[in-house]
C-alpha cells in the first residue's frame, strides 16, 4: 500500500523517490541502542534512475482512465466508480454505507474534515511477487494543481478478497487522503515512514480487524517475542516492505511499528512536535553548468525532540515493555473511605 503521488506533486514525489535510493551505512546499523546518530543529508544526481519509478506510466492508470469510469454511487464523501466495467462489489449501497462509516471513523480519529469527495475504484488483485493492495493518489495542498484533481483511492480486490481487507485498505488509504488534504491543514506527513505510519494509525480498528490484532502496542510486543521486529532506524527507507516475496509480511510489520511509534510520540510529546517533525524534511535543487543535484535533509528528530531517531525508538520500546509489565502486575486495591471510617468495606463487584 505504498502511496503513489502524481508527477505534479513536488514534495512527496521527491521525498518518496529519495527514500527508495536511501541507504544507511553499515556503521550506523546499531539496532535500537540510544547512541547519537544523526540522519544524514543525501544528494542525488538528476540523471540517476531515481525518478524513473515515478514516471506517470508507473502509476498503472490508463491515460484515459477518467473516460473509463462509471459512477455507481455517490455519498457525502465518496464518488464510487466501476473502472473499465470492473466493480467486484455485490451490494453497492451497502458498500457506500460502509465507506461513509469508514470516513466518520478516520475523520474523527484524525480530528480533521474534508469537503472534497474522494474517488473510489477497484482493480483486480496485483499478481506481482510483491503486490500492491491499494493506493491513494493525493496531491499536497502546496501542489498548484491540487484543486484540479479529486483525491482517488484504488482498491485491489476480487471475489476472494475478505471484507475486512477491503475495509482495512479503504481506511488506510483514506488515512493518506485525510492526512494530506483536510480543512484544518493538520498532519501533512511527507516521509515514507511518517506517511504510512499515520495512514495505518488512522485506520485503527479497521486495520486491526484486517490484521487480526487488538492494538498497535500489542502487535509490536508480539513482533518482539516472535523475533520479527524490524528496527525503524535500520529500515528507514521501508525497503523490506516493497521488495522480495515476503514483502507483505514486512510491510505489515513496518507499517504497524510506525503507527505505534507515532502514537507514542503523539501521546508522550503532543501534536505540535509531531507536526513539526512531519514538516521538518528539507530539499533543495542545486544546478551547476555540469549537473543538477537534489539535496534532501531527512526529518530533524534532534531539532524537534532533542533526541535522535534511534534514541526515541529505544524510549518507545522501553515504554511498550513497561506498559506490558504494569498490565501484568495487579494494582493494589485501596479504599480511602475505609481508612477514614470504621465502616466495613462494601464488597466489590466480581
Ligand atoms: Zn499506505
| Position 346 pLDDT exceeds 70 | no
In 10 A of CB 307, how many CB atoms? 16
| Position 299 pLDDT exceeds 60 | yes
Q: Rounded to the nearest 10 degrees, how much is the dihedral formed by the CA atoms of 163, 165, 169, 170?
A: 10
Mean pLDDT of 316-330: 87
Residues in the chain: 350
Q: What is the pLDDT of residue 152?
A: 95
How much distance in Å is there from the Cα of 216 to the middle of ligand 1? 16
Q: Residue 155 and residue 5: Cα distance in Å, rounded?
A: 16
How much distance in Å is there from the Cα of 201 to the middle of ligand 1? 11
| Position 61 pLDDT exceeds 80 | no
How much distance in Å is there from the Cα of 43 to the middle of ligand 1? 25
DSSP bridge partners of 81 = 71
* 3-class state of residue 67 by DSSP: helix
Minimum mean pLDDT among 23-32, 154-163, 199-208, 238-247: which range? 23-32
How much distance in Å is there from the Cα of 16 to the middle of ligand 1? 12
Helix (H) or strand (E) holding 152: strand 152-156
pLDDT digits (tens, 9 = 90+) for 207-216: 999 999 999 9
How much distance in Å is there from the Cα of 193 to the middle of ligand 1? 9
- Tell me the pTM: 0.79
* pLDDT band at 44; cut points 50, 70, 90: low
More confident call, 30 vs 317: 317
* 3-class state of residue 125 by DSSP: coil
pLDDT digits (tens, 9 = 90+) for 260-284: 999 999 999 999 999 999 999 998 8
Minimum mean pLDDT among 168-182, 216-230, 323-337: which range? 323-337
Mean pLDDT of 29-58: 53
How much distance in Å is there from the Cα of 1 to the middle of ligand 1? 4
Mean pLDDT of 111-136: 95
How much distance in Å is there from the Cα of 196 to the middle of ligand 1? 5
User: How far are the Cα atoms of 28, 87, 166, 219 from residue 206, in angstroms, in the given order?
Assistant: 36, 22, 9, 14
Domains of the chain: 67-328 (1.10.390)
Nearest to 42 by CA among 233, 235, 283: 283
Mean pLDDT of 38-55: 55
Q: What is the pLDDT of residue 341?
A: 39
Mean pLDDT of 72-80: 97
Q: What is the pLDDT of residue 322?
A: 92
The mean pLDDT of the chain is: 81
Q: What is the pLDDT of residue 3?
A: 37
Q: What is the pLDDT of residue 247?
A: 96
| Position 58 pLDDT exceeds 60 | no
Give backbone dihedrals phi and psi of 121, rounded to 5 degrees, phi first.
-145, 170
Amino acid at each position: 500500500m505504498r502511496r503513489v503521488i502524481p508527477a505534479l506533486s513536488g514534495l512527496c514525489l521527491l521525498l518518496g523517490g529519495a527514500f527508495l535510493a536511501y541507504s544507511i551505512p553499515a556503521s550506523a546499523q546499531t539496532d535500537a541502542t540510544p547512541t547519537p546518530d544523526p540522519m544524514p543529508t543525501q544528494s542525488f544526481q538528476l540523471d540517476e534512475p531515481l525518478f524513473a519509478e515515478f514516471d506517470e506510466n508507473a502509476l498503472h492508470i490508463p491515460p484515459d482512465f477518467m473516460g473509463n469510469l462509471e459512477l455507481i454511487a455517490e455519498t457525502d464523501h465518496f464518488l464510487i466508480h466501476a473502472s473499465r466495467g470492473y466493480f467486484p462489489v455485490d451490494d453497492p449501497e451497502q458498500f457506500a454505507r460502509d465507506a461513509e462509516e469508514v470516513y466518520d471513523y478516520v475523520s474523527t480519529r484524525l480530528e480533521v474534515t474534508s469537503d472534497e469527495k474522494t474517488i473510489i475504484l477497484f482493480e483486480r488483485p496485483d499478481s506481482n511477487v510483491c503486490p500492491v493492495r491499494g493506493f491513494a493518489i493525493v496531491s499536497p495542498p502546496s501542489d498548484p494543481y491540487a484543486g484540479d484533481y479529486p483525491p482517488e483511492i484504488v482498491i485491489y480486490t476480487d471475489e476472494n478478497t475478505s471484507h475486512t481487507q477491503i475495509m482495512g485498505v479503504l481506511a488506510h488509504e483514506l488515512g493518506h487522503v485525510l492526512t494530506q488534504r483536510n480543512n484544518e491543514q493538520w498532519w501533512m506527513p511527507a516521509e515514507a515512514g511518517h506517511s504510512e505510519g499515520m495512514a495505518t494509525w488512522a485506520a485503527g480498528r479497521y486495520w486491526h480487524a484486517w490484521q487480526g490484532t487488538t492494538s498497535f502496542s500489542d502487535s509490536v510486543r508480539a513482533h518482539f517475542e516472535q523475533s520479527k521486529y524490524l528496527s525503524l532506524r535500520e529500515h528507514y527507507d521501508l525497503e523490506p516492505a516493497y521488495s522480495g516475496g515476503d514483502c507483505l509480511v514486512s510491510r505489515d510489520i513496518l507499517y504497524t511499528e510506525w503507527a505505534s511509534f507515532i502514537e507514542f510520540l503523539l501521546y508522550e510529546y503532543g501534536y505540535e512536535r509531531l507536526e513539526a517533525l512531519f514538516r521538518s524534511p528539507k530539499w533543495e535543487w542545486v544546478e551547476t553548468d555540469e549537473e543538477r543535484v537534489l539535496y534532501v535533509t531527512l526529518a530533524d528528530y534532534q531539532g524537534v525532540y532533542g533526541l535522535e531517531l534511534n534514541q526515541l525508538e529505544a524510549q518507545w520500546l522501553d515504554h511498550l515493555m513497561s506498559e506490558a509489565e504494569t498490565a501484568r502486575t495487579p494494582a493494589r486495591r485501596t479504599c480511602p473511605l475505609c481508612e477514614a471510617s470504621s465502616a466495613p468495606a462494601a464488597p466489590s463487584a466480581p
